[in-house]
Amino acid sequence: MQRFSIRLTSAALAMALSVAGQAAYAEQLLNVSYDPTRELYRDVNAQFADWWVKQGHDKPQIQTSHGGSGSQARAVVDGLDAQVVTLALAPDIDRIADTGKIPEDWQTKLPHNASPYTSTIVFLVRKDNPKNIKDWPDLIKDGVEVITPNPKTSGGARWNYMAAWAWAEKAGQDPKAFVGELFKHVPVLDSGARGATTTFAQRGMGDVLLAWENEAYLALNEIGDDFEIVVPSVSILAEPPVAVVEGNIKTDDQRALAQGYLEWLYTPEAQAIAFKHYYRAWDTSKADPEDVARLPQLELVNIADLGGWDKVQAEQFGDGGVFDQIYTAK
């Protein structure tokens, strides 16, 4: 009996402590993001919290969750209690908007199509570039293997795919034939960008990895000198957008925090963090000039010039769309 009462007391104590622990934070915020933003948001969350406290608020508790952009969007649709989403591409946020949790015109609420930073798609090749890969047409040469994730499940892979498409259009080739030929050179389809990087870097598969620019630099820094980045002549302007999930906001304080968080991403301080993590942000005023200069200049095609995501998503990646035809039409 005595033992039981000790247990009960300690359980009550633990509960009281956890309640007290929560009360120390004014507001909580869950940011549901995509795969390669782990390092970026670790820095952003820390610096934003400091700034937010300086504005006279209590210290917020900010958490970030990462995963394939598509599955993250599905988690929010299925009820994950995210107050802000920072995903890889607009159609994934549109899916959440379809449920009514985000207003339909979310992309007009923040500058630059609600994308505080942009990126592009580059090639990562093995050291000294043994297959001599310089540009998109080299990817479909005999004996070249290309690693890219599955565009059905990975947001980054959809940017890869559209970058290839954009080059083929510019080069006057039939884009459908080029992309179809490209995927014949893909021996492994991972479900997300991180998985594809692992397959290429650690498993030694393939000759070239199509990757987010920031992910390619990260692989270079983390895994070492076995790789080189090759910048193609044409690539795509990848705009990973952000939005407040209105349907999951409970109080006015929480709304202020969520909006403040996303707006802060556009400040010179936050833009400098984005440059530091190899993102192409907009405002260079506070960024380290070296961080800006190391991102190479290249021709970037806007997704709007390819018809916009609404059209592209349905035509290319919908059920029975161009991507499905690559594998079923023989």
Residues that bind another protein (CB under 8 A): 68, 70-71, 74, 77, 95, 150, 152-153, 186-191, 202-205, 319, 324, 327-328
Least distance in Å: CB of 279 to another protein? 25
User: Could you give the CA distance from residue 62 to residue 262 in angstroms, rounded to a whole number?
Assistant: 12
Which value, in Å, is the radius of gyration of the alpha carbons in the chain? 22
Least distance in Å: CB of 223 to another protein? 13
Residue placing its CB nearer to another protein in the complex, 74 or 109: 74
User: Could you give the CA distance from residue 322 to residue 314 in angstroms, rounded to a whole number?
Assistant: 9
Least distance in Å: CB of 65 to another protein? 16
Look at residues 67, 215, 217, 90 and name the one whose alpha carbon lies nearest to residue 162: 90
Least distance in Å: CB of 98 to another protein? 9
Contacts of 21 (CB under 8 A, 6+ apart): none
Local structure of residue 231 (DSSP, 8 states): -
Least distance in Å: CB of 198 to another protein? 9
CB of 36 within 8 A of CB of 215? yes
Residue placing its CB nearer to another protein in the complex, 61 or 191: 191
Give the CA dihedral 51, 53, 58, 63, nearest 10 degrees: 30
Least distance in Å: CB of 204 to another protein? 3
Contacts of 325 (CB under 8 A, 6+ apart): 180
User: Could you give the CA distance from residue 41 to residue 87 in angstroms, rounded to a whole number?
Assistant: 12
Sheet with 61-65: list strands edge to edge: 61-65, 28-33, 84-86, 242-244
In total, the chain counts a number of residues equal to 330
Residue placing its CB nearer to another protein in the complex, 74 or 255: 74
Residue placing its CB nearer to another protein in the complex, 211 or 249: 211
Residue placing its CB nearer to another protein in the complex, 69 or 118: 69
Local structure of residue 263 (DSSP, 8 states): H
Least distance in Å: CB of 91 to another protein? 11
Query: Going by DSSP bridges, is the β-strand pair 121-126/227-230 parallel, antiparallel, or unpaired?
Result: antiparallel
Residue placing its CB nearer to another protein in the complex, 125 or 287: 125
Instruction: Please tell me whether residue 228 adopts helix, strand or coil conformation.
Output: strand
The secondary element (H helix, E strand) that includes residue 126 is strand 121-126
Least distance in Å: CB of 206 to another protein? 10
Least distance in Å: CB of 73 to another protein? 9
Residue placing its CB nearer to another protein in the complex, 252 or 319: 319
CB of 310 within 8 A of CB of 90? no
Residue placing its CB nearer to another protein in the complex, 56 or 204: 204
Residue placing its CB nearer to another protein in the complex, 49 or 82: 82
